[in-house]
């Protein structure tokens, strides 16, 4: 597997690759068995390449659904996306030993097991963990596929972020419980925030940030991108996110942009990282996607199309469940699933 150049400021995690069943590409909280049209369906670790062009599409009139109104301009589409009721719902990824991972997250990271479901006919199990109810908090959705005990985290996925009152005490607790500490507590490079890094049993990295009293402890998902300005523009226009802040670190040759639906002190956010000179990454077969709530999956898909995004699952209800979703790839091939807010609330009843 190709390694990142030594100049890349935010290193990658990797573990041995294993074939991934098609069912493991989750589409939403209720759709672990659905398959998507992408290179990762077969468990390949080949970097996903997309053609990124909004030429012509930006001026087109595209219907949101058979009965929905047409966006007559890109400005109208952006305005709708900004007003849509959106938040990050959960991050979906695969693990090799579900019980071992649950034990690490609850005992070392202080999460709670919110719910767990086994789908024997599809040969997978999900577990949802976090720091508060799914109705109001960002959580993780772990997927265990029967018989698959190892995955390749790849180079593109960076880490999850967890805000705590005291980084040093948290790290000592994790160490005492047998957790792996990969970066001792101390100020972040180029800044003052005290951080540390730990690693879970599957090789996923967690950045522990000193953020006393935060209402959203599970606060970040870091993904690496090949063109930061392109990514920022896409997430602002197609996803309706705000650029919360941007920081360049020329000494360490990387730039980060925080994107989200509200202040990062109170909401989970995406941390997009550009390492100087690196334009694509091997995504592995471990990390799957982020789920985002929306009031209208049909309009969401059309806004994405207007700005050149790739819709890999057309909007509509899932068979047998009726939760409406649509699945999207961003310019770097990172997947998001938009889930109807009302339908998602019904799932949690």
Biggest CA pair distance of the chain: 59
pLDDT recorded at residue 60:
36
Tokens of 77: 């589409």
pLDDT recorded at residue 190:
75
Q: Does residue 157 sit in helix, strand or coil? A: strand
* Catalytic status, residue 207: yes
Ramachandran angles phi, psi of 279, nearest 5°: -105, -15
141 annotated to bind ligand: yes
pLDDT recorded at residue 18:
41
Question: pTM (2 decimals)?
Answer: 0.82
pLDDT recorded at residue 150:
96
pLDDT recorded at residue 49:
34
Q: Which residues contact 33 (CB under 8 A, 6 or more apart)?
A: 23, 119, 122, 124
Annotated catalytic residue: which of 134, 155, 199, 207?
A: 207
159 annotated to bind ligand: yes
The backbone region for 128, taken as left when phi is positive above 0, alpha when psi lies in -120 to 50, beta otherwise, is beta
At which residue do the structure tokens 């730990």 appear? 198
pLDDT recorded at residue 39:
33
Structural domains in the chain, CATH included, are: 72-347 (3.10.180.10)
76 annotated to bind ligand: no
DSSP state at residue 2: P
pLDDT recorded at residue 233:
98
CA distance 334 to 339: 16
> For each successive 10 residues of the chain (349 residues), what is the average pLDDT?
35 38 37 35 34 38 44 95 98 98 96 95 96 97 97 98 97 94 92 94 97 96 98 98 96 96 96 98 97 98 95 92 94 98 94
């Amino acid at each position: 597997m190709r390694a990142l150049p030594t100049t890349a400021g935010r290193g990658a995690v990797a573990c041995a690759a294993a074939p991934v069943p098609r069912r493991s590409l989750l589409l939403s909280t209720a759709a672990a068995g659905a398959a998507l049209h992408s290179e990762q369906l077969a468990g390949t670790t080949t970097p996903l390449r997309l053609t990124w062009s909004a030429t012509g599409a930006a001026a087109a009139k595209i219907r949101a659904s058979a009965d929905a109104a047409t966006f007559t301009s890109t400005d109208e589409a952006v305005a709708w996306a900004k007003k849509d009721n959106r938040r990050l719902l959960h991050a979906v990824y695969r693990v090799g030993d579900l019980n071992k991972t649950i034990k690490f997250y609850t005992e070392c990271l202080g999460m709670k097991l919110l719910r767990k479901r086994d789908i024997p006919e599809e040969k997978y199990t999900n577990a949802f963990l976090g720091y508060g109810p799914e109705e109001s908090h960002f959580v993780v959705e772990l997927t265990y596929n029967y018989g698959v005990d190892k995955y390749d985290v790849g180079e593109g996925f960076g880490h999850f972020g967890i805000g705590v009152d005291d980084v040093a005490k948290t790290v000592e607790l994790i160490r005492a419980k047998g957790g792996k500490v990969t970066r001792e507590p101390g100020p972040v490079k180029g800044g003052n925030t005290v951080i540390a890094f730990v690693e879970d049993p599957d090789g996923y990295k967690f950045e522990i940030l000193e953020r006393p009293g935060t209402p959203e402890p599970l606060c970040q998902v870091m993904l690496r991108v090949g063109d930061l300005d392109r990514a920022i523009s896409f997430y602002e226009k197609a996803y309706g996110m705000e650029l919360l802040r941007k920081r360049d670190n020329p000494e360490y040759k990387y730039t980060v942009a925080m994107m989200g639906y509200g202040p990062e002190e109170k909401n989970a956010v995406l941390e997009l990282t550009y390492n100087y000179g690196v334009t694509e990454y091997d995504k592995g077969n471990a990390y799957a996607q982020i789920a985002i709530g929306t009031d209208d999956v049909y309009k969401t898909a059309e806004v994405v199309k207007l700005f050149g995004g790739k819709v890999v699952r057309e909007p509509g209800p899932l068979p047998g469940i009726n939760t409406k979703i649509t699945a999207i790839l961003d310019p770097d091939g990172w997947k998001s699933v938009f889930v109807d807010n009302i339908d998602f609330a019904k799932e949690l009843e």
